[in-house]
Amino acid sequence: MQKYKYVVGIDVSSKTLDYSIYDGESYISKDIDYNKKEIIKAFVNPFKDKIDKSLFVMEATGVYHTQLAYYLLSLGFNVSVVNPLVIKRYSQLKLSRIKTDKADSKIISSYGYLYQNELKLLKSKSKEQIKIDNLIKAIDDLIKQKTITNNQLHSLTKQSYYSKTVANSYKRHLEFLNDEIKRLEKELNSLIDRYFKKEYKLLKTIPGIGLKVIAIIISIFNSFDNFDNAKKACSFIGIAPSPYQSGASVKKQASISKQGNSFARKILYMATLSATQHNFLIKQKYQRLLKLGKPKKVALIAAANKLLRQAYGILKSGIPFDENYINKNTKKFQGV
């Protein structure tokens, strides 16, 4: 049974929105400027008496969709954000060869209407979670700049003759970057400690999980509030195995999908390097896979999958990490 009578598929760009309203029989397609006045005129006024019967669906497209999604959410609308690859596959299934913003909005609304009972509704994030997201990404950007500047300085000083003025400029820039990284990390720590102390204390008990991973779990994963199980959380950042098999003759080695949030995947991947040294359960899994002949990268991704499952289990249960803890209901070790 269809819960929503109207599904609004939205193709978001920096300046305009193309949208299609689909009721299972016909489409109404329009485009508007990306500003609150036009959004209210297009969505709020026509749908204010049928909010419960309407669903707004859009692709995750960088920062552009975020503003619109949370603005519609604040107005009381039901919103779902889907992976662009899912829409692409659906479009291929429909044998659509037209690639325009208007056509894309139709595909999104059609997909949303057909699979509306399976779509996960977006949940609102607090201002603090959004600030944490900004901070962790800014810190990562500054670290990248630091690496680039370090490389430039190293390359310069390896020349037979070089300008000390330029070298000193690089050094001053490195000092500035170091100071800014420390300042942002201090603010990040303070924000988490003030508003998410419970989550911080629980996640900190897991060996290998530090401030950055805790930050992405609180902000990007919304403390796992949007996920029914750990497998979906792993799929969200693309570290769930994707088997490839066709009949008896075509069978490829399973690999990760890489379809999810690449930033969160990178942060978790780096944390797993530490966890393979300090987290007994992660280390055990990692070394076992290596002994089976698995490539290091494959073993590391499997370990990252397990580390995220540990974090999910800890937050959902509210029980601090203990590698010897056994769940009486499942008879399994914590985090397995």
What does the pLDDT look like over 95-122, one tens digit per residue? 776 678 788 999 999 999 999 998 988 8
Q: Output the pTM of the full model.
A: 0.76
How confident is the model at residue 326, as a pLDDT? 54
**Under DSSP, is residue 201 helix (H, G, I), strand (E, B) or coil?**
helix
d(CA 225, CA 222): 6
Q: What is the mean pLDDT of residues 255-283?
A: 83
d(CA 247, CA 20): 39
Phi, psi at 34, each rounded to 5°:
-85, 80
How confident is the model at residue 330, as a pLDDT? 46
Across 53-62, 200-209, 228-237, 248-257, the highest mean pLDDT is recorded for 200-209
Write out the two tokens for 325.
């803890």
**Higher-confidence position of 329 and 312:** 312
How confident is the model at residue 223, as a pLDDT? 93
Write out the two tokens for 48.
């204010």
User: Poorest-confidence range of 154-158, 198-202, 284-288, 320-324?
Assistant: 320-324
136 Rama sector, left if φ>0, alpha if ψ -120 to 50, beta otherwise: alpha
Q: Where are the domains of the chain?
A: 6-114, 131-195, 216-333
* Nearest-5° Cα angle at 77, 74 to 80: 100
What does the pLDDT look like over 126-140, one tens digit per residue? 899 999 999 999 999
d(CA 205, CA 317): 13
What does the pLDDT look like over 219-266, one tens digit per residue? 989 999 878 889 888 888 888 665 444 344 444 444 444 556 788 889
Average model confidence (pLDDT) for the chain?
87
How confident is the model at residue 34, as a pLDDT? 82
CA 32 remoteness from chain centre: 28
Best CA proximity match to 235, nearest among 293, 134, 308, 154: 308
**Under DSSP, is residue 116 helix (H, G, I), strand (E, B) or coil?**
coil
CA 155 remoteness from chain centre: 35
Write out the two tokens for 1.
């049974």
Rounded to a whole number of angstroms, the distance between the first and last alpha carbons of the chain is 37
- Cα within 13 Å of Cα(280), Cβ side: 8
How confident is the model at residue 102, as a pLDDT? 85
CB atoms within 10 A of CB 148: 12
Whole-number Cα distances in Å, 151 to 137, 140, 144, 180, 331: 21, 17, 11, 19, 51
Inform me whether the pLDDT recorded for 295 exceeds 90. Answer: yes
Across 9-13, 60-64, 216-220, 241-245, the highest mean pLDDT is recorded for 216-220
DSSP letters, 119-180, are PPPP----HHHHHHHHHHHHHHHHHHHHHHHHHHHHHHHTSSS--HHHHHHHHHHHHHHHHH
Q: Report the percentage of the chain scoring pLDDT > 90.
A: 56
Q: What is the mean pLDDT of residues 33-60?
A: 88
How confident is the model at residue 243, as a pLDDT? 44
Q: What is the mean pLDDT of residues 49-73?
A: 85
In eight-state DSSP terms, residue 41 is: I
CA 254 remoteness from chain centre: 22
Q: Report the percentage of the chain scoring pLDDT > 70.
A: 89
CATH 3.40.50.300 fits 6-114, yes or no: no
Best CA proximity match to 236, nearest among 266, 261, 215, 204: 261
**Under DSSP, is residue 242 helix (H, G, I), strand (E, B) or coil?**
strand
